Amino acid sequence: MKNRNIYIALTAFVASVVSVQAQNKKPDLGTEVVNVVRNYEGKVADADKMTELPKEDKDIVTEKKTVEYNINSYPVESTFVPEKGEVAEVEKREPLKTFNNYALGSFGSYTTINGEVFLSHKFKNNSYVAGFANYMSSQGGLKDLLLEDNYSKTSASAHYGGQKGNFSWTTELGGSFQSSHWYGLPMEEVNFNRGDIQGVDSQQRYKDIYFNGNFEFKQSPFTNLDVKFDRFWDDYSSTENRFSIKPQISTRIGFMSNANLGIVLDYVSTEFKDHLVTQTTQKTTHFNIGLEPNVAFKGDKYFVQLGLGIYYNDGKVANQSDGKFYVYPQIKGTYNLVPNLLSVYAGIEGGLQQNSYKELVEVNPFVAPNLLITPTSKNYDIYVGMRGKLDHNISYNVKGSYMNESDKLLFIHTPYSTNTAKVPFGFGNSFATESQKVKTFSLLGELKYEFNKEASIGAYAQWSNYDTDGEKAWNLPTTKFGANLDLSFSQAWYANLDLYYVGSRYDAFSISDIEGTIVGDPEALQMNKVRELDGYVDLNLQVGYRITKNWTAFAKLNNVLNNQYDKWDNYKVQGFQAVGGVMYKFDF
């Protein structure tokens, strides 16, 4: 069945590509592309929908910071671009009337409701204000579940930024409220019935308040300053505070070279309550202090950076303090063999990555509120590749890499607890983190083809091999594949098709015999086992119709193959979903 779904999806995708090549439309088309976008957020209903496309050779040109608010999940054009930003978007057609604001609403199967509002105003003194609010919820309804599977997320943010002379800034103040359920009971290993989980409240709620600020200074050695603060907490007395400051200093030391210094001050403090045994609070803190000096040389055909990353981690776990120094290579280079057509690149880079409870929840909302959280040391990442264009409308990227990481946090099932007073996440239905040393060899290929001004297709494929000091590289897929097709049939109609495939992963089921009830029980002890999760394919389609210059109607068909696969072990996603809605674009 899995292979059959893959073949059906690929056939549908290839048929779509063939139909594109058969078109011969006039290029008098509009666009529904927004400069203000919201990143995909994984939900119970969706696959791990990522998009990898060939990247431009940014090392050769002067880099500018991309402005990204992460707020709009549906395509809509906007002229609202802060002065300091540069949108890296290919202009494929004549633009329609643009607007600075929009509101949208949609409704679909599984009682899915979504509403978004974006408002902005640009002042004459090169500054702006903006606000965003989003609500997304689904009542769930997966079959054969003993616990609830509904979810919701509400988020809002306010932005203020601008530019005055040689100084520019962007600031953001926001917050979110997210609700989900630990509904993934291990029903293959444990014979549950309604009585076993009667009265269990499987709901978990996450709350977040944050501030982000970026400040840039032109014609000054002190070029950039990033400031972030985040407070994150849940319903189980878990709290986390994170604060980071990252200044950048740069000075010219020659006609074609710069000396640069990046400074990293990153502090995170996380508290978890032990709900199973001691009922005490365990606090973990990690303070990363880093210096990243480098010298960069840039010419018409080349870019070379020679540098080091020097870090000190002041960590405290369970009242035990530990400090450690790290030194990493940070060397990379690019050379244009054929200007604008072919460039090769290589490097060896490392660094100390701060991990946090919030970031882990963003990847997997079904984690238990008592995680092991430590920084991950990327000892080195050796890579080599080439990228460029085969023609004026075909771009590509090919890359091979070998990465060595220590204390990499992998998701693995929490044990099924024999404690009769189980907490809602103690049924083997949540995930913990396991720290491993992982060596990864991977090959990546990316391709984007602009058929004409009306259509484009992008695809990527990645294969990875893992060598770990643990039993398995938990929940890391060996293969990934994705493809995307964008079409504009006329000035009113447009469509988008996405295809995703994620290969098999490993997880494990085990039993925590806190009360000693299964000691000497061979049948119960044999339940501990490694599980291999099947790979999955997900096909999604979106169609839009511009009713007027202000109104757009859209429909989305998600998981068209109706494959209720396990994104995480025992956590099936919703099957075929149909969502429809309208969007109104306007100016004040």
* CA-based nearest residue to 273, from 201, 370, 366, 355: 370
Residue scoring higher pLDDT (453 or 142): 142
Q: Are 115 and 105 spatial neighbours (Cβ–Cβ below 8 Å)? A: yes
Instruction: Work out whether strand 511-512 and strand 416-417 pair parallel, antiparallel, or are unpaired.
Output: parallel
Residue with tokens 């447009």: 494
- Banded pLDDT at 199 (limits 50, 70, 90): confident
2-156+165-188+206-586, which class in CATH? Answer: mainly beta
The pLDDT value given to residue 527: 63
- Banded pLDDT at 190 (limits 50, 70, 90): confident
Distance CA 72, CA 471 (A): 41
The pLDDT value given to residue 45: 37
Sorted by sequence, the CB contacts under 8 Å of residue 22 that are 6+ apart come out as none
Q: Are 194 and 171 spatial neighbours (Cβ–Cβ below 8 Å)? A: no
The pLDDT value given to residue 28: 37
- Banded pLDDT at 517 (limits 50, 70, 90): low
The pLDDT value given to residue 480: 97
Summarize pLDDT for 263-283 with one digit per residue, the tens: 999 999 999 988 766 667 889
Q: Where are the beta strands (DSSP E) in 182-221?
A: 203-217
Separation in Å, CA 149 to CA 61, 140, 556: 48, 5, 22
Summarize pLDDT for 1-35 with one digit per residue, the tens: 555 555 445 444 444 444 444 444 433 333 343 33
The pLDDT value given to residue 378: 98
Percentage of the chain modeled with pLDDT above 90: 65
Give mean pLDDT, residues 99-112.
Answer: 95
Summarize pLDDT for 284-309 with one digit per residue, the tens: 999 999 999 999 999 989 999 999 99
Summarize pLDDT for 436-491 with one digit per residue, the tens: 999 999 999 999 998 887 889 999 999 999 999 999 999 999 999 999 999 988 88
Given a cut of 80, whether residue 40 has pLDDT beyond it is no
Residue with tokens 């120094």: 325
The pLDDT value given to residue 588: 84
Given a cut of 60, whether residue 44 has pLDDT beyond it is no
The pLDDT value given to residue 91: 30
- Banded pLDDT at 87 (limits 50, 70, 90): very low
Most confidently predicted of 122-126, 422-426, 501-505: 501-505
Given a cut of 90, whether residue 50 has pLDDT beyond it is no
Distance CA 202, CA 190 (A): 17
Residue with tokens 């956590």: 571
Give mean pLDDT, residues 322-348.
Answer: 94
Six token digits for residue 267: 């502090």
Percentage of the chain modeled with pLDDT above 70: 80
153 DSSP β-pair partners? 136, 178
Q: Quote the pTM value.
A: 0.83
381 alpha carbon, distance to own chain's centre: 20
Residue scoring higher pLDDT (50 or 483): 483
Give mean pLDDT, residues 543-547.
Answer: 95
Distance CA 2, CA 180 (A): 28
Residue scoring higher pLDDT (1 or 54): 1
